[in-house]
Structure 1
Amino acid sequence: MYIPTYQDMLDAHERIKPYINRTPIRTSKFLNELTGAELFFKCENFQEAGAFKVRGASNAVFGLSDAQAKLGVATHSSGNHASCLSYAAMLRGIPCNVVMPSTAPQAKKDTVRRYGGVITECEPSTSAREETFAKVQAASGGDFVHPYNDPRVIAGQGTCAKEFMEQVDGLDIAMAPIGGGGMISGTCLTLSHLAPEVQIIAAEPEQADDAMRSFKAGYIIADDAPKTIADGLLVPLKERTWHFVSNHVTDILTASEEEIIAAMKLTWKHLRIVMEPSSAVPLATILKNKERFAGKRVGIIITGGNVDLDKPPWTLN
């Protein structure tokens, strides 16, 4: 099993620079006072495709040889990886086939189609996704770009933490939501070399807390079909992401559905940006554990902002 290296991340950053945005940092005096910490939000929701996953997707797509690229790419995803892989494939002019759960937000399906991705829907479980995908890939022959358990993807996601450290000095803690662990793994990959003194804390919904339980047990525990408003965090850890989580993550904290919704509303109001439920989980866990973060400089990755505005997330719970 190949584990991506720091050099892989540096190479990825050079490769994807033409296709990504160097996203800005937002702060809020109100949120700092509310939490007792200094919070710095890196706005990956400002990527063209609306999520950090354009980094890993672009690294995979533009790392293909011309011969490999002819058959296109394929993946399974609850939404953002599908959107971002479709976007990167569109930029390169190659086909993209994606398997998505039928329950994925319509806004995310619309984005995939806008970028030319072809969607095959499946039942909302990890096993159904993987079974349906096997059939789709066999038919298309496209290069499989796993949403997170792929060294190219992890290296690409690691470029976000590299930018973060260039933009903000003296972070004590770096935080991101965790589902399959692609962003957290990329963060671990980068910070373990660039700033090993920074603690890495992952945040997860209580109703999809398999990463937290895995972390405590010392081995991967996979839930097949968890249900949470944080639809981007429904998938389990895999071998490569577990390598990074088990070796470099300081802790995994959880928040309830109500806490996630409250945090999301706070950020919409006080950061004045649209973020999806998954992105609000870190702030929800900070608000729940204020003493843990008091006086700390905390970097939070806002992972995505693809929301169906006709059906605000808090109306679906």
Structure 2
Amino acid sequence: MSRLTHTFAAAGAAALLVVAAFSAGAAAAPAPQSAQAPALAPAVDPKPPDPDAKRSEGDVSTNAVLSPSAAEMQYVAITPCRVVDTRSGGGRFSNGTTRSYYVGGTFGFAPQGGTTGGCGIPEGAVAVAATVLALNPSGPGRIKAWPAGVAEPGANVLYYGSESLGAGTTLTLRPGAGTDLTVKNYNASTDVILDINGYYLPQMWAYISTSGAVLDQSGRLLSATNDSAGTYTLVWDRDVSVCVGTANSDISGYIASVYTSTNISYVYIDDNAGNASNYWFNVLISC
């Protein structure tokens, strides 16, 4: 046999040995074992909330905010502020107890256990981001809260057990003077605390006629007058001195400008020649 034939035979034998070695190794490899599930720690009941603990704006449990569906609402956050505490005003709720409370304005808060002088919430607020707390209940129960002056709804804002429990929610109010919110308790007896984290207001806008009559508005405008040619005075329900006003007329032949001071916006209308003129306009105040 030639030297070349011997070389190829030796190479072929070596290759067969390598394949056999790999096959034996694969057969000898142990089968993978299934991973064991980690042991779960036993559930621990949460510590009942401290009703007097200082709340921060980053605390999700006390600042849950569910926006009202109306797109034109603006949300104003405030330092968490108490408007109701039955421990110092009114006493505990029993089964079926119903009470109406002030949330906006500056009147009536001390008798309901709230912050004297209120929380800076305007009377025109239509909803609040709130924390409702059932404190030291005698057993399981539930709480409803709805705008004062309307029929009781079917939904509850808080279900509680035999321990103190609080929940963040959005509460709709009755805007304007008088009480804003009605609260009713069912089943057990409990103290109730209501803290406010922010409030919702409609945007300030209005549609004004040539004579100064209010044709349409968001509910924030108190009055409008046509003082002289091209000059209108609009009085709002809050200080607008740091706000920005924009206005436009119905047609391009008129130019509108806005100046704000205290709770008043002055709207000036000129025609294209620069002459003061009365004409319809829309105005929006952004704060």
TM-score (norm 1): 0.23
Q: Give the number of the structure whose alpha-carbon radius of gyration is greater.
A: 2
Where relative contact order (Cα < 8 A, 6+ residues apart) is larger, the structure is 1
Say which structure is richer in strand: 2
TM-score (norm 2): 0.25
